[in-house]
Amino acid sequence: MDNSVKQKSTKKNRIQDVLKHIAKHPLETMISDWHWKAALFSALFRTPVFLIAYHKQGLSIALTAGLIQFCFRTIFGGIGGSIIQKFSKVEPPWHATMTVPIFLTVVSHLIEYTIQVIFDGYYGTNMAQKAIIASVTISVMSALFNLFVMRQGVLLVKDDNQQSIWKDFSYIPRLVFDFVMIPSRNIYKRLSQKQYLTAVFVALMQSLVTGIIATILRGPSNPTQHLKWGYWTGAIVFALTVIAVSILAFSASRKYSGIEALGD
């Protein structure tokens, strides 16, 4: 009986079943299950990006761009949060990790880019591309982070626990640390399993991707200088990763030594 229950639960949480549920119940996803916590965070974190991007165009234009983004992110952030919460129950987790960020980023930024192009056309500005690049980066990272924390039972709405947002806030610092440490822990795991080439590859790819993102965010105005910025950003990330993996290895060795001492 336990096996049948487990199989039923696994089937229910398959990615295709979640997709079918969303397709069959779009109003439930967009309205009934609108995720107010995700909407709040999305609006608060995304609005400053557009305020900064448009600040040289004048205060009124910057505030208008920020207000438009706040309204858009409040609406779509709640819908995106609802989708992410549904996908947070998918097994295995990597199915959701490889699907949700791409889906939400493509859909939201097609709409967002259209809005900003119309905005630029009306005000005679040309900042849509720069603002959207920064926004895309934030979208991917926030989708991954939201998936991660929701799987830990944080930032959920209409769940059994009905946890307050203030209780969620108390868990955020630790979860941010755990989220940032995922690559380093993965690398340490590979090293422990003597998968040295894979560990090195993961470390290099993490540094490379970070460097590329840093270069893109700096913009195309001075390619040589921004390539240097990207290179040093990637190098610093690589160095920090090595330090983090070393600390994990040291902590594991101390723990193992303590267990051996107790055994003696």
Helix or strand (DSSP H, E) at 31:
none
Domain boundary among 145, 180, 215: 180
The parent domain of residue 233 ranges over 181-264
Instruction: Say how many domains are in the chain.
Output: 2
How sure is the predictor about 196, in pLDDT bands with cuts at 50, 70 and 90? very high
Distance in angstroms (rounded) separating the CA atoms of residues 255 and 249: 10
Q: Which of 176, 21, 15, 147 is nearest to 80 (CA)?
A: 147
Q: Could you tell me the pLDDT band of residue 188, with boundaries at 50, 70 and 90?
A: very high
For residue 241, give every residue at least 6 positions away whose Cβ sits within 8 Å of its Cβ, in sequence order, or none: 183, 184, 187, 203, 206, 207
- The residue ranking higher by pLDDT, 223 or 149, is 149
Same domain, 175 and 208: no
Give 62-75 pLDDT, tens digit per residue: 999 999 999 999 99
3-state secondary structure of 144: helix
| Rounded Cα–Cα distance for residues 13 and 113 (Å) | 33
The predicted structure's pLDDT at residue 104: 87
140 and 200 inside one domain: no
Kindly state whether residues 92 and 198 are assigned to the same domain.
no
Q: Are residues 38 and 153 in the same domain?
A: yes
Whether pLDDT at 10 is above 60: no
Q: Report how far apart, in Å, the C-alpha atoms of 68 and of each of 37, 119, 173, 206 are.
A: 19, 9, 30, 34
Query: Which whole number is the average pLDDT over 27-33?
Result: 91
- Of 64-68, 135-139, 190-194, the range with the lowest mean pLDDT is 135-139
- Same domain for 147 and 196, yes or no, is no
202 & 117 share domain: no
Residue 11 has which token pair? 């089937």
Choice among 41-45, 63-67, 157-161 with the minimum mean pLDDT:
157-161
pLDDT value, residue 141: 87
Whether residues 113 and 37 fall in one domain = yes
**What is the pLDDT, as a whole number, of residue 220?**
59
Give every CB contact of residue 204 below 8 A, 6+ residues apart in sequence: 238
User: Is residue 225 scored above 80 in pLDDT?
Assistant: no
Query: Is the separation of the CB atoms in 36 and 74 below 8 Å?
Result: no
Domain-terminating residue out of 133, 153, 180:
180
Amino acid found at 117: V
- Do 51 and 87 belong to one domain? yes
Pick from 180, 196, 213: which residue ends a domain? 180
3-state secondary structure of 98: coil
* 245 in the same domain as 146: no
Q: Are residues 239 and 143 in the same domain?
A: no
181 vs 177: CA distance, rounded Å: 6
Are 194 and 241 within one domain? yes
Same domain, 108 and 226: no
How far is the CA of 193 from the CAs of 2, 82, 182, 186, 197, in angstroms?
32, 38, 17, 11, 11
